[in-house]
Amino acid sequence: MISVAEALAHIFDLVAPLPTEEVALEDAAGRVLAAPVIARRDQPPFAASAMDGYAVTAADARPGASLGVIGTSAAGHGFDGTLAPGQAVRIFTGAPVPPGADRVIIQEDVMRDGDRITLGDRLDSAAHIRPAGADFACGDTLSAPRRLRPADLALAAAMNVPRVTAHRRPRVAIIATGDELVMPGETPGPDQIIAANGFALTAMAEAEGARAQMLPIARDTEASLRAVFAQARDADLILTIGGASVGDHDLVGKVAADLGLNQSFYKVAMRPGKPLMAGRLGDATMIGLPGNPVSALVCAHVFVLPAIRVMQGLPAEPAPASRAPVACDLPANGPRAHYMRARIIDGRLVPFDSQDSALLTILSEARALIVRAPHEGPRQAGERVDYLPL
Ligand SMILES: Nc1nc2c(c(=O)[nH]1)N[C@H]1C(S)=C(S)[C@@H](COP(=O)(O)OP(=O)(O)OC[C@H]3O[C@@H](n4cnc5c(N)ncnc54)[C@H](O)[C@@H]3O)O[C@H]1N2
Ligand code: MOO
């Protein structure tokens, strides 16, 4: 059995950034930028007032000064002229500061009488002027790769860049396997359960930027598996669920091999998730997940999401871990990496008593997977340990 790190390295070898495409800004939230956005202008494009008030010369900005108002500069409608000593221009936030002015006196500190103003007794010392290019200058960049967050979209828009280059969203096909499965809402037979894992995998893949599709459930026959695999022809990533272990009905590995799977590995020293497999199947990467719900979803956190990130052009990195103190003593770990479901209470990790990989109720309550290295010694309450946030 290989280690988690080795398995992840194999998976990174199986995936590559997908081709790029142009995306309109309004469709680009969450997409991964593949080429830098280059500002087409300065922002602000002129020295702009940061306040509502009066633009004056520095020399006139003294308590009690009396100045003549010669015009107005509003946002979108600058003052067409130059300011001389003894003069003021009524100005509003975001408006161009007229040439000659180097201070804005906020209107709270000004008394106005017709076309004249008198500055108050106590003036603040700030200029209240944003210089041209204070935010960014023409040619400045928003670097790639990065996942576009709302503020990034606003920045690209401000740079006057209406379309960005992003890697294509990975197409993920999800294949649940097993005679025991029916879809939610259907009537299960006495020996059947509801296919659940695909819903979590779909949500996780989509939240990570992929387009995921649940294909029909494949039954435990080679013919059924082949038929469903055939429907995954366009996928960049095929995720199978179940049928990965050593039982007589665990056919996924055999059928995938018959279809030409170039298998990278089978079985990883982790729990849950041991019977994980991965390889290249035609133009797609295939990751065969174990059927137990927690096993499938832990493997998705540890392997599938990092793979989806690489396909979008992000760096090949393990799932981001955090550290927090554990709330109770933990026994020494065995030979497999252990991903322990835990709550986070008052900043401390509280593992659940049962770590059975079939229990969705516990996974649904869990907010952390405590990561225990193979053969790691016992941990005492209060020790800081690594965990993957859920
Ligand atoms: N003799 C051995 N038996 C098992 C071993 C082993 O090493 N030797 N490994 C165990 C481990 S660890 C795991 S994990 C499971 C994995 O088995 P499979 O990947 O073959 O999964 P299945 O047998 O198909 O299903 C396991 C379990 O999960 C349920 N399941 C499957 N798909 C779904 C789904 N889409 N939604 C909800 N639940 C699902 C299925 O009904 C089973 O209860 O093997 C152990 N056995
Ligand atoms: O590895 Mo299995 O995934 O422990 O339940």
Please give the model's pTM, rounded to 2 decimal places. 0.93
Question: Is 163 found in the same domain as 173?
Answer: no
List of E strands, 153-256: 163-167, 171-176, 181-182, 193-194, 211-214, 237-241
Question: Average pLDDT of 47-61?
Answer: 98
Same domain for 176 and 224, yes or no, is: yes
- Which is nearest to 171 in space by CA: 343, 363, 389, 15? 15
Decide whether any atom of ligand 1 lies within 6 Å of the 197 Cβ: yes
Q: Summarize pLDDT for 113-122 with one digit per residue, the tens.
A: 999 999 999 9
Q: Which ligand number lies closest to the CA of residue 302?
A: 2
CA distance 169 to 163: 16
**ipTM score over 0.95, yes or no:** yes
| Amino acid at residue number 370 | I
Q: Which atom of ligand 2 is nearest to the CA of 275?
A: 1
- For the domain that residue 88 is a member of, what is the CATH number? 2.170.190.11
Q: Which residue has the tokens 């000659």?
A: 100
Pocket lining: 288 vs ligand 1, CB cutoff 6 Å:
no
pLDDT per residue over 267-301, tens digit each?
A: 999 999 999 999 999 999 999 999 999 999 999 99
CA 243 to ligand 1 center in whole angstroms: 7
Residue 176 confidence (pLDDT): 98
Check which CATH number belongs to the domain holding 379 and give it: 2.40.340.10
Flag whether 172 is in a domain: yes
Q: Are 290 and 345 in a shared domain?
A: no
Instruction: Name the helix (H) or strand (E) containing 309.
Output: helix 305-311
The verdict on 184 and 298 lying in the same domain is: yes
In this structure, what CATH number is given to the domain that contains residue 222?
A: 3.40.980.10
Partnered with residue 239 across adjacent β-strands are 174, 287
pLDDT of res. 275: 95
Question: Are residues 153 and 174 both part of a single domain?
Answer: no
Residue given tokens 């459930």 in the structure block: 217
The reported pLDDT for the residue numbered 96 is 98
Task: Output phi, psi for 27, to 5 deg.
Answer: -105, 10
Choose the residue to mutate in 197, 297, 357, 369 for probing ligand 2, maximizing ligand atoms within 8 Å of C-beta.
357
Q: Which residues contact 58 (CB under 8 A, 6 or more apart)?
A: 102, 103
Does 169 score more than 80 pLDDT? Answer: yes
Residue 83 pLDDT level (bands cut at 50, 70, 90):
very high
Same domain, 176 and 303: yes
pLDDT digits (tens, 9 = 90+) for 152-161: 999 999 999 9
| Domain boundaries, position 326 | 322-389
Ligand having the closest approach to the CA of 251: 1
Cα separation of 65 and 315, whole Å? Answer: 60
Alpha-carbon distance 371 to 206, whole Å?
25
Is pLDDT of 249 > 90?
no
Pocket of ligand 2 (CB under 6 A): 271-274, 290, 292, 295, 357
Confidence of residue 245 (pLDDT cuts 50, 70, 90): confident
Task: Give me ligand 2 centre to Cα 41, in Å.
Answer: 55
Which of these three, 288, 311, 334, is where a domain ends?
311
- Check pLDDT > 90 for residue 248: no
Q: For all residues of the chain together, what is the average pLDDT?
A: 97
The reply to whether 316 falls in a domain is: no
First-to-last CA distance in the chain? Answer: 26
Number of domains in the chain: 4
* In contact, 14 and 264? CB cutoff 8 Å: yes
Q: Any idea which ligand is nearest the CA of 277?
A: 1
- Looking at the structure, do residues 142 and 124 belong to the same domain, yes or no? no
Is 115 among the domain residues? yes
Residue 354 lies in a domain: yes
pLDDT in tens, 184-202: 999 999 999 999 999 999 9
What pLDDT, on the 0 to 100 scale, is given for residue 207? 97
Residue 22 lies in a domain: no
> Whose CA is closest to atom 40 on ligand 1?
291
Q: What is the pLDDT of residue 45?
A: 98
Collect all residues with Cβ–Cβ distance below 8 Å to 378 and sequence separation of at least 6. 329, 330, 331, 332
Which is nearest to 275 in space by CA: 304, 231, 244?
A: 244
Q: What is the pLDDT of residue 250?
A: 81
Assigned domain for 317 exists: no
